[in-house]
Structure 1
């Protein structure tokens, strides 16, 4: 039987811990036999999980015989990882053990050096911090999970469920994974990545920036079919000068800023109205349905139709 060891460190996030316990423990093969044996292990018998204290039946020796090790997220991703844990994880990796992290559990995995030179992800709120703390890791903040073969990382807690289902499909095929997904009331695959859950913030202009009046006008005029020439004329500059000054003060170009403002408006309309997708694209200022769909997917990571399906209120 495939043994999954779930490592619980002090400060473990309960949902991140319960996800692999629920998914793997309930997975059954075609004949009804359990597909996995799940073992919760820890440095000490008791683990502080914030709202409660967890008693772990297994010590770190469980990592030595596991086929897969799961690293749940921690309330404080900057918490020190015990040297004994780092050594055990490196030793397990040397034996070919598969190691996966959920949410900010990527910080624990990155602390071992096993992600150096590899692509990885974590919750979008922590992605920049992971990249700063571990510059040798290629952090991708847009995807739900990353599969490097032996080492896997996932985004937020729900993406941890995506990752667990992916592992089941790798181990036992789509039929077994589909059954596990149904038990979790979850699609086997979700469309899009993390970008669809992130409200695209505009780059702020520095206090006292000469671009502030223009930014206000752009926000108010986002629904118009503006060209770069229109924006430059309003600013009283040449397009070349405007592009240079705008980039210096905001880090982006006027048109990119405008596109993001339009997409934010479109997201709100997709969530809160039943208006047609093409009509929404027209309302927020895109010249054609094709341009709207392409720009929306570029910024949000999924199509307007898929975004509406995932986020529209039923009220």
Structure 2
């Protein structure tokens, strides 16, 4: 079978597509024929050795997928050959096959295509955990979302709206903001051409925002905290900008606000029961038409370098997917 392999740490250009032996399941494992694998920002970090997850070399990147079970190992009881599943793998999904423990799988809803299922778990799981579990967004609150046209951003817009919030989308172009509007954003801010703090003040009548959803980091994070309402919640999700902001601790003191870390990868390991509840609720929202994942581009295995570079350069709206 073919797989994208990382033999040494570096930029996407160091990756290669190679033929390797087909996989054999170990005890408790299944082998999945990968139909679609979502591309996420952590994929670009793990190949550079800049992420919390550090797989041994050589490895295939790719942290989420949907596919069909090809074979099962001894001890597997919940899944069978031929079943369509979604998996969170951490790495290994940019390949024609992947071996994964059965406790990392969920049945794929019949209503989902493989493309949607393969790009659904990380962004919508992260956004739901952030907004529902960590921030406990309430109906009528105002949520500001940075990087709002990206995978996390689109998911956060739709979930915040489903929770009854007013959504302010912040992105870097009018084209991206049009995507945000199409997915339910109430207000839009182009933070490259508009004064972020002045616009937030005008939109909220000086009150400030209740929740900030920030998968970007960089220079605008502090401005957002300065624009928070009393008892606001700032969600630290990631640093797609490349700069980890340094926040002066007098700001949360003066605002009476909270800074909340969102590490979905560890959440699913530490709180599997809560994860199961979240996924049930997310699938219900999908079936109700309240969340509509956007897959904006598709690449073959040979296009992984191009896909990752598009992600790193923040040229992606919604999600992009690898089709082995």
Larger of the two Rg values belongs to structure: 1
Which structure is higher in helix share? Answer: 1
Q: Identify whether the pair has TM-score above 0.5, normalized to the shorter chain.
A: no
Higher strand proportion (structure 1 or 2):
2
- Structure number with the bigger relative contact order (C-alpha 8 A, sep ≥ 6) is 2
TM norm structure 2: 0.28
